[in-house]
């Protein structure tokens, strides 16, 4: 059994509740619309395999790459996604949300 690392990027102006709602809705929608065994069987490596919810880190990283590395190293496999903010080279803020899904 392996794992697939999944990410979503959102505007950094969203508050935590909005980010959490977006991720929960994404997971639920994926499960509802892709409920065949091919897409949601416990090992498909997609958002339907991720635990519903979202965890947050308050630090704002200086680049998407640093943020990606932090999330990929700190998100717990098969549990809730981890959301972290970063600044791009133009100073804009984004959320990067990552999770490990079983595949």
pTM comes to: 0.89
User: What pLDDT score does 34 carry?
Assistant: 64
Residues in the chain where the model's pLDDT stays below 70: 1, 34-43
Encoding tokens for residue 95?
A: 């959320």
User: What pLDDT score does 9 carry?
Assistant: 98
Whether residue 18 contacts residue 11, with contact meaning beta carbons closer than 8 Å, is answered with no
DSSP string, the chain: --EEEEEEEEETTS-HHHHHHHHHHHHHHHHHHT-STTTSSS-S-SGGGSPSS-EEEEEEESSHHHHHHHHHHHSPTTS--EEEEEE-TTS-EEEEEEEEEE-
Apex 51 CA angle, 5 and 32, nearest 5: 100
User: What pLDDT score does 36 carry?
Assistant: 55
Whether residue 5 contacts residue 88, with contact meaning beta carbons closer than 8 Å, is answered with no
């Amino acid at each position: 059994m392996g794992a697939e690392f999944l990410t979503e990027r959102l505007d950094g102006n969203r508050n935590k509740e909005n980010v959490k709602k977006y991720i929960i809705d994404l997971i639920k929608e994926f499960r509802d619309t892709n409920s065949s065994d091919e897409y949601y069987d416990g090992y498909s490596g997609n958002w339907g395999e991720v635990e519903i919810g979202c965890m947050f880190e308050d630090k704002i990283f200086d680049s998407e790459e640093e943020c990606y590395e932090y999330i990929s190293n700190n998100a717990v496999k098969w549990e809730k996604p981890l959301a972290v903010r970063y600044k791009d080279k133009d100073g804009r803020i984004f959320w990067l949300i990552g999770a490990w899904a079983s595949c």
